[in-house]
Amino acid sequence: MRIDPHTHSSCSDGTDAPAELMRAAAQAGLDVVGLTDHDTTIGWEEAAAAVPSTGVTLLRGTEISCAAGGVTLHLLAYLFDPEDEALAEAFAHARDSRGTRAQRMVERIAVDYPITWEDVLAQSVGHAIGRPHIADALVAAGSFENRDAAFAGPLAVSSPYYAHYWALDPVEACALVRAAGGVPVAAHPRASQRQRRLVPDETFAAMAEAGLAALEVDHRDHGPADRRAARDLADRLGLGVSGSSDYHGAGKPNRLGENLMPPDLLERIVDEGALPLVTP
């Protein structure tokens, strides 16, 4: 069984509409795909409607923005109740904060690059606007060749244009996901290629006590040493091991199915989650 549990649609920072993502998953030979847009569930319905025609099972999820001690960490939440008030409020707060942060960054970047807030809005369908949409606006303006180049320049965390945003504490996020009937998995926890500072092992130990189920070990942003470190940490904490593409459509080079989740971890997530898989 080929399971890619971490992908994004145009409802956050991907470029494929949810139905297009499901069709792409079928073409990639996937049996199961997880739709995990940032801090939103808005794409679930369209993706679920495409299940019968594509034959691909849908794992419903969200990627939650978290931060510990000023260090960013993303948490994948699977099969939770989307009507849970506490989690929905956290998503709304994060989306609002990311949007405000994006506006501040555009104001700073516009001093030196030919983009406006309207240019950024034109790169999004209106949901969860963030740095990838600013990158797309910079590419459209001819300032950079692609998203990666923009992220290596004015959108880098170390850049003077960068601005912070509100994010949940990851231990609190794990507890909220479990209270909503969901199953939390830490996304790319050792992505040293993505950021200089990483969340310490002690935080993951506290997350495990709060209900963390697994670490995403096999990921494009993990080099061989990162994968070994993440796998060792999972072993020490008694956590499962996952893998994914973190597909964003044309926004990133990541390809569907390039890393996969083991079937036994999916079985555990289904057993523990409040929602079922959406099957053909």
- At residue 269, the 3 state secondary structure works out as helix
Phi and psi angles of residue 178, each rounded to the nearest 5 degrees, phi first: -65, -40
pLDDT classification of 78: cutoffs 50, 70, 90: very high
pTM for the predicted model, two decimal places: 0.90
Domain covering 95-152, topology: DNA polymerase; domain 1 (1.10.150)
Longest CA–CA span in the chain (Å) reads 52
What pLDDT, on the 0 to 100 scale, is given for residue 127? 65
CA distances to 63, 132, 138, 144, 207 from 148, rounded to whole Å, are 20, 9, 11, 9, 30
pLDDT classification of 170: cutoffs 50, 70, 90: very high
What pLDDT, on the 0 to 100 scale, is given for residue 195? 66
* Inter-residue contact 214 to 186 (CB < 8 Å): yes
What pLDDT, on the 0 to 100 scale, is given for residue 130? 85
Least confident of 10-14, 121-125, 237-241, 248-252: 121-125
Burial 177-216 (b: 16+ CB within 10 A, else e): bbebebbbbbbbbbbeebbeebbeeebbbbbbebbbbbbb
Where in 70-110 does DSSP place strands (E)?
Answer: 71-78
* HEC sequence for 204-250: HHHHHHCCCCEEEEECCCCCHHHHHHHHHHHHHHCCEEEECCCECHH
Instruction: Assign domain 3-91+165-272 to its CATH architecture.
Output: Alpha-Beta Barrel (3.20)
Q: By percentage, how much of the chain surpasses pLDDT 70?
A: 97
Q: By percentage, how much of the chain surpasses pLDDT 90?
A: 85
Is the pLDDT at 140 greater than 70? The verdict is: yes
What pLDDT, on the 0 to 100 scale, is given for residue 165? 87
* Inter-residue contact 22 to 54 (CB < 8 Å): yes
User: For the chain, what is the mean pLDDT?
Assistant: 94
Domain boundaries, the chain: 3-91+165-272, 95-152
The long-range contacts involving 152-156, CB below 8 angstroms and separated by at least 24 positions, are 154/109, 154/112, 154/113, 155/105, 155/131
Is the pLDDT at 196 greater than 90? The verdict is: no
Is the pLDDT at 238 greater than 70? The verdict is: yes
pLDDT classification of 172: cutoffs 50, 70, 90: very high
Q: What is the pLDDT of residues 105-132, one digit of tens each?
A: 999 999 999 999 999 998 887 566 889 8
Which amino acid, one-letter code, is at 176? Answer: L
How many CA atoms lie less than 13 Å away from 41 in the CB half-sphere?
A: 19
Is the pLDDT at 193 greater than 70? The verdict is: no
What pLDDT, on the 0 to 100 scale, is given for residue 98? 85
